Structure 1
Amino acid sequence: MRTTRARSSRLTDAVLLGVALVWGSSYLVAKDLTVVAPVVVVLALRYAISAVALGLVCRRARARISGRREVGVGVLLGCTQAAVLTLETYGVSATTATNAGLIISLVVVLTPLLDGVWSRRPLPAPFFAATTVAVVGVALLVSDGGFRAPGSGDGLMLAAAAVRAVHVSLVGRLTADRPYSSLTLTTIQAVVGAVLLTAVAAPRLGSAVPALPLSAWAQLAYLALACTVFAFLAQTSAIRRTSPSRASLLMGTEPVWAVAVGVGLGGERLSVLTVVGAALIVAATSWGQRVEGAHRLAAVEVPVPAEVGGA
């Protein structure tokens, strides 16, 4: 039994790392797209393709909604997810792809704070020491070439990190011990995002869509199918099998992938500070993952009395 759980845990961790990888690559792709089309058009098309793809998957899987509560949860999560992607896309259009991937990693600090407040079961001090090391790693990455005042794009990415932390925590809190399907929840989120952003982008779609080159459609397909359909499904499913804090740590490797893509495909420079910062983030993620896992296991083995705390 313990071996089976360990394998399941490793698989969940691998899935979340996959989410971090595709999201890390998404910043460069999204930035390129905002050069050839308005941000709202990019977002609307990304969501529309995602919603259609997920609808086909639901039909093939004969997915069913369990009730109105599941719809309500999906709509709420769809609004928060749409807010995250909107802030991220506008942010990356006004800053570098590498900076965007690095700043969003602050979610590894914000999510555990929210999770601890809502569960009334604060994480141990070593966990926050690990997140501090991760922040130091991000600072080293961003400081390459000298410190500078954050621009509007950097500020939007900070806001995106805060909203993403809320979204990840809500996924964990609202779906815990509920018979919800990750597929239907993800589909509802995509449909909500498609409706909202298509309504906003409607005045520009008629002129922008015919002008999109074939390469842009390929990039949109990647954002929709890999960075949205796969990532949303994987994130929702994996978070339900672990904790929001552990998920945020694993997905906190996203800036490392963002740097790797920026260097490998975007032609960005890899310096000593970049390497040191990336190494600190990876080490901090691994350390925090072990601390959080031990803390969660202890909470399961030694139940907390209702009057003391615990969700």
Structure 2
Amino acid sequence: MAEVATSARSDQLLVIIDPMARRTDGESVRIAKDVLSAGAATKVCLPEDPEEFARALARRGARRPVLIGDDGALVRTVALLHRRRELAGCVLSVVPVGGALTLAGALGVPTGAVAAARAVLDGVERRLDVLVDESDGVVLGALRIPALPLPGTPPAQADGGDGGPDGARPWLRTAQSLVRTLVPVRPARSTAVPGAGPSRLRVEVDGAPLIDLDQPVEGVTVTPGRGGVAEVEVRPVSVGAEASLLVASGRVVTVTGADFRYRADGGVAGPVRRRTWRVLEEAWGLTVPQRGA
């Protein structure tokens, strides 16, 4: 990633406040607005739905967009700019407010309202890589493909139940089964969980197979790295002893398998049978604090 040491102190700002942020933490929203308004000329937008949000962003003109919202709002904003082919030319600023702020913090944005708002005013632009798939989906952080649920595993064995009989609530069994399917995989150690079995996936990095369908895996992780490459980690199933982690780096990653799901940026996608991600180098700009500030 690269940083451009350009202060944003004199910018005109378009402050777009995500509805969820207003509902979950109105006090932090108010604080952020006060700090931003004291340091720059601001126009505040309060969209009520995705359509209003998209219109506000499209009509920003010369104003620099500032998002007040959580990780989900950040991902939606980047995806929208990518679909409009405006991502490369737009420097986005974020004040994280809401329940899920892990992604913003990992990207270098302060998760406190005051510190984040000050970074908007005094920070620098950081250029970041992004993963883009063939359906124009974007991934900002790591994506993980977890293990599959074993056929016929009772929900109570994996989730512990809720103290009541499941037989009368088929919707509960369905929900619990989905939860088991989406258990995240941590590549640093074995991630087998009760009720989960290995996946059979073919993982190719720049056209070269890293693992094929004949060798079951416990999980796959793909992370945008630096310099336009993705870091790929595959955890094969252990047989007797812990299996060695398979690693590779490349610009194009293709995963093929039977109806797999993947977690990315706090959301879940799939099931799909094939997905290809390409790394776009320094595809977008994010305002972060100056080093040493």
Using structure 1 for the length normalisation, give the TM-score. Answer: 0.25
Instruction: Identify which of structures 1 and 2 has the higher relative contact order when contacts are C-alpha pairs closer than 8 Å and 6+ apart.
Output: 1
Q: Which structure has greater helix proportion?
A: 1
Larger radius of gyration: 2
What TM-score comes out, normalization by structure 2 length? 0.26
More strand by share: 2
